[in-house]
Structure 1
Amino acid sequence: MTDYSTIKNPILPGFTPDPAVLGVGDDYYLATSTFNWYPGVQIFHSKDLAHWELQTYVFNDPDFLHLAGTDTPAGVWAPDLTYDKRTGKYWIVMCQMHNMNGNLFDQDNYAVYADSINGPWSKPIYLNSIGFDCSLFHDDDGKHWAVTLEWDTRKGYQHPGAIVLEQFDPDQGKLVGPTKRISRGGTDRGCLEAPHIYKHDGYYYLMTAEGGTGYGHGVVVQRSKTIDGPYESDPQNPIITSTPYRYFRRGDPDSLRLDLYNPKAPLQKCGHGSLVHTATDEWYVVHLSARPLPGTTNCTLGRETSIQKVEWTEEGWLRMKAGGTLAQPTTEGMKGIQVSDKSQAAGVNADFSTGKIDLHLMSPYGPRTEEWCSLKERSGWLRIHGRQSFFSQFQVSLLASRIDSFKSIVSTKVEFNPIHYSQSAGLTLYYDNSNWLFARLYHSETLNSTALAIMKGEKGNKDEYILDRVALPGGKAELKAEIDYGQVQFFYRTNENTEWRKLGDLIDISFMSDEQTGGFTGLMGGIGTWDAYRRQSFADFKYFKITPKNE
């Protein structure tokens, strides 16, 4: 047995972008963006850096977090996760992006703190609105600093702007003193964002993302003897990337950059890094990554989270342990920490007869409430009351979780008795309010019965696979969607003793990818209902599962 195991990437497959990692003792925590999904900011826990379990959420106060009407991909962006050793408090900083129209972003940055990673979290402290990707650094002299991307929208000025430094006073609950621009990037890739400050051997290190959150992405490092600069760039920048060569794109607002797709890279879009020092005295960078469908540049699973082991050189720079700058599909684990071969794709197994709703299940645009989602109204079942359609950005009765494997089975058991054609309930694959598939039970006037058919939303346009519909006079069915990379086949059966029957033909799901939607979230699987008649109908669900298969 060797002293080192191997960690496979991605460590968090599926829609888990913008990771921020933290080590406290031999416990490791990781926070990711949630965008328009509620609750805001997921926190995962690990002991081996390879396998992560969802532990909690941070922002679940409906009086604070208002997501209704949020356009994709706005919402809760790029959390920062830190620990202040002097006070023993955990800190989370997040950006709530309200509007992106006209490239004149409207956002607010907030900080919260807690004595435990599980909360309760303080009331949000407003920081600033100058830009996004704000993070905190707790210096060893007791001072606290915030760094933010200053989103510069002025005509004739370099876009997106500079990294700005501001002092934060937790006692006053606000930023104090002047704002200083400390960097306009360590490379010429442009699209500067995601600043984090670390301190090591007398230097302050500024880690940023550059090149856009797409195919030209990279992790960039600069350093200075003083926190306010001047900062010098690592001569090897970017230190982790999918595009291991120099290019000039300053001022280019395109963050996707499809032309920079590298077919030889095992992981794409690698950037947005976060550094952690382990209890074994080793160093790792956790970073965003993506895996397109084979032979395409379409990423249906969205932006994921990967990790690379790094080392300090004698010159005081970080280098990948594997060598080079191209992000690798595996990396060396921590010394003496055994890593199992268990798949990182965890899926979901929500049995509502337990009287609990699985922690992985989230709702878009607002919180899950007893008003529309109840375990009490029918024992052993989850009852979901119909509200607005899946095209809405407001009152949407949908529970979903990320698809975390290219091969997955999404399934449920539903009972529904609609009396109007505008009442629907069933199983969905959902990217955002404009792009989804819905295997739904509804009332068919033609068949004079409850029926089952697939409805599609693509780029905001509706289509119905009406020729594939089937009558379900009992209003009861098990439904499943078998995802095989870029295609899905829906199935149904009326009871567990009958064979599964196909519902229609294979459907291409590549339209639910970042590249086709123009967003940067990811594919979700879920259950839900709507009612455009009198908002009186409801559906009962026995279980909901996302079962990963071997890829």
Structure 2
Amino acid sequence: MNSSIIKYTLSVLILISSNLFAQQNTFENPILKGGYPDPSICRVGDDYYMVNSTFEYFPALPIHHSKDLVNWELIGYGLHRENQCNGAVNLVDVNSNGGIHAPTIRYHEGTFYIITTNVYYDPNKKENPTDFVNFIITAKSPEGPWSEPHVLEGAPGIDPDIFFDEDGKVWYVGTHSPENPNFDGEGEIWLQEIDLENWKLTGERNYLWRGACGGVWVEGPHMYKHDGRYYLMVAEGGTSFNHAVMIAVSDDIKGPYFSNPRNPILSTRHLTYDFWVNSTGHADLIQLEDGRWYMVALGIRGDVDRRSNMGRESHLIPVQWEREPFEWQEIKYDWPVCAPQTGRVERLNPVPFEGTKQIRKEEFKDEFDSDVLNLEWNFRRVPMPNTYSLSKREGHLRLFANPNVIKERGRASLMGFRQKESLYDYEVKMNFKSKQKNVEAGISLFQKDDNYINMTVQRAAKGYTLKLSLKAHDKEQNVIANDELELYKGEIILRVKADKEQYHFEYSLDNGNEFKRLTSIKNNYIISRGYTGAYLGMYCTSNGKKSNAYVDFDWVKCNYETLK
């Protein structure tokens, strides 16, 4: 063989192998797919734990565990019992986009702490109709059980942080609107000591900072100690395209704080709206055992119309600290630099730990063979008693019909798991019969109380019909497709196939041998416009009438494909 051909062949093989090696040593953002906004992270030895906002959903405050920062396992929830959520912390009839906002998770001397806000709007109150309840829950194990909420009276605002200083003091770092704001939306970060024995704020309240770039919607504070100084990191600019992360420094925890001249340290406001991810911000920093630093931050994938059904997801960004180089400066500060080579959240990044392989779970499947509900299932608000059962029929989940329908502040027989990609095939097999007219059961793709798509089998005067109901944002619910199920005998497979343009709704009456298409609609009807992402789930209602009806689900499965 010609030597030039050999050299060329070897160079091609080296290039291929190096590319394969590079792929094997990278991870893909987001690290938590689906509606996991406002990430906060802590480290215990070589274990990492992350918590996220959940707003009106229950169980609330999902806790994930990782050994390598790229593979995460859902291990429990901070609010996992009804009695944690039906008092001062109200997730029973909370308004949409109310509920649990921006938690912080920290570990100190054998105890895990989560501090967060419950936001509750009361339409019957004429003055100050929105209550902000800031509270702490604790646990010895991150899997739980977690304590009852310890409410901190006299703590205004949202997004609290808890900081354990080296001198033994514990500090509350909060957000509120100042008494005399210079403009609408101006925020201010404040500081006060916490008495953890009595669960109350104590001492003088200190006002620290109003942000770096005008202070518009300053929120999400986190305090850190680095290089002997205090660093205050905040979110700013709102949760859309102008979202950003800012940071300031002080020699004293009580201030004054000096803004980083290179702020913002993370944002997409300087990038095209068509970049693969936007609205990055609301971040938390973590130092690894070997001294390196990383950041977790939310971001929105631009899959459809520069947004996605999944809403705000959690991303991982490498960070390094750099000291100011200016010779004329008397004091030279260290500042964190996010994604040092590019300054933006990249889809592909080198793994934090050599030899790590990111394992993507591209399928969710539940055959309901356990006596406890899979942790992935969520409800809009604390579910009503007798909403479901795993024991009434072996190997099935029984969802009981309830007179309630999906409505604002309401609780219905509705449950689901987070949608994690724009492209998916979602199928359920169910058994449903009812003698009572207008009872219906089936699947639901839902964002909010006013934004969902239901494909349900409904008992008609004679026989059964299959209908597709659409509740588009700010519009009335419409039935846009309806088929008579002449051959229906009580068993059906319902399927949604989501591609780049449409949702295709299909069904099978012969155990999946043949599917018939009910209809297709555009895939942008349940785009996230608020704080949460879309869910894929099941629904059953008797439409205002009392009923003994129910539906049995044999299995649920969803296969995902990443939109490139």
- The answer to whether TM tops 0.5 is yes
CA 1:153–1:457 in 2, change beyond 3 Å: closer, same or farther? farther
**Superposition pairs for residues 294-373 of structure 1, below 5 Å?**
294=304, 296-315=305-324, 316-336=334-354, 338-343=355-360, 346-367=362-383, 369=385, 371-373=386-388
Select 1:449's aligned residue among 463, 473, 484: 463
For 1:212, the equivalent position in structure 2 comes to 238
Select 1:82's aligned residue among 103, 106, 112: 106
For 1:169, the equivalent position in structure 2 comes to 195
Cα deviation 1:315-363 (Å, max 9, x = unaligned): 3100124335332223332243x232532x5542111134442110011
| Residue pair 1:403, 1:524 contacting (<8 A) in 2 also | yes
In structure 2, runs of 5+ residues without a counterpart are: 1-20, 325-333
Q: Percent identity?
A: 28
CA 1:538–1:164 in 2, change beyond 3 Å: closer, same or farther? same
What residue identity is the alignment partner of 2:106?
Answer: T
| Residue pair 2:105, 2:112 contacting (<8 A) in 1 also | yes
Give, in angstroms, the shift of residue 368 of structure 1: 6.7
**Superposition pairs for residues 23-38 of structure 1, below 5 Å?**
23-38=43-58
For 2:120, the equivalent position in structure 1 comes to 98
Give, in angstroms, the shift of residue 393 of structure 1: 2.9
1:540 aligns with 2:556: no
- Give the number of aligned pairs: 523
The structure with the larger Rg is: 2
1:386 aligns with 2:401: yes
SS in 2 for 1:82: strand
Give, in angstroms, the shift of residue 455 of structure 1: 1.2
Give, in angstroms, the shift of residue 464 of structure 1: 0.5
For 2:138, the equivalent position in structure 1 comes to 113
**Superposition pairs for residues 393-408 of structure 1, below 5 Å?**
393-408=409-424
Alpha-carbon separation, structure 2, partners of 1:335 and 1:341: 11
CA 1:151–1:216 in 2, change beyond 3 Å: closer, same or farther? same
1:227 aligns with 2:253: yes
Alpha-carbon separation, structure 2, partners of 1:499 and 1:123: 51
| Residue pair 2:464, 2:484 contacting (<8 A) in 1 also | no
Give, in angstroms, the shift of residue 375 of structure 1: 1.2
For 1:255, the equivalent position in structure 2 comes to none
TM-score (norm. length: structure 2): 0.88
CA 1:222–1:373 in 2, change beyond 3 Å: closer, same or farther? same
| Residue pair 2:300, 2:307 contacting (<8 A) in 1 also | no
Alpha-carbon separation, structure 2, partners of 1:330 and 1:119: 33
SS in 2 for 1:33: coil
| Residue pair 1:266, 1:327 contacting (<8 A) in 2 also | no
For 1:514, the equivalent position in structure 2 comes to 528
Alpha-carbon separation, structure 1, partners of 2:238 and 2:67: 31
SS in 1 for 2:83: coil
SS in 2 for 1:465: strand
| Residue pair 2:96, 2:409 contacting (<8 A) in 1 also | no
TM-score (norm. length: structure 1): 0.90
Give, in angstroms, the shift of residue 466 of structure 1: 3.9
Give, in angstroms, the shift of residue 206 of structure 1: 0.5
Select 1:409's aligned residue among 396, 416, 425: 425
Select 1:527's aligned residue among 526, 538, 545: 538
For 2:6, the equivalent position in structure 1 comes to none
CA RMSD of aligned residues (A): 2.3
1:437 aligns with 2:463: no
Give, in angstroms, the shift of residue 289 of structure 1: 0.3
CA 1:181–1:524 in 2, change beyond 3 Å: closer, same or farther? same
Alpha-carbon separation, structure 1, partners of 2:436 and 2:210: 58
In structure 1, runs of 5+ residues without a counterpart are: 245-260
CA 1:172–1:535 in 2, change beyond 3 Å: closer, same or farther? same
Alpha-carbon separation, structure 2, partners of 1:397 and 1:241: 40
**Superposition pairs for residues 187-266 of structure 1, below 5 Å?**
187-188=213-214, 190-244=216-270, 262-266=272-276
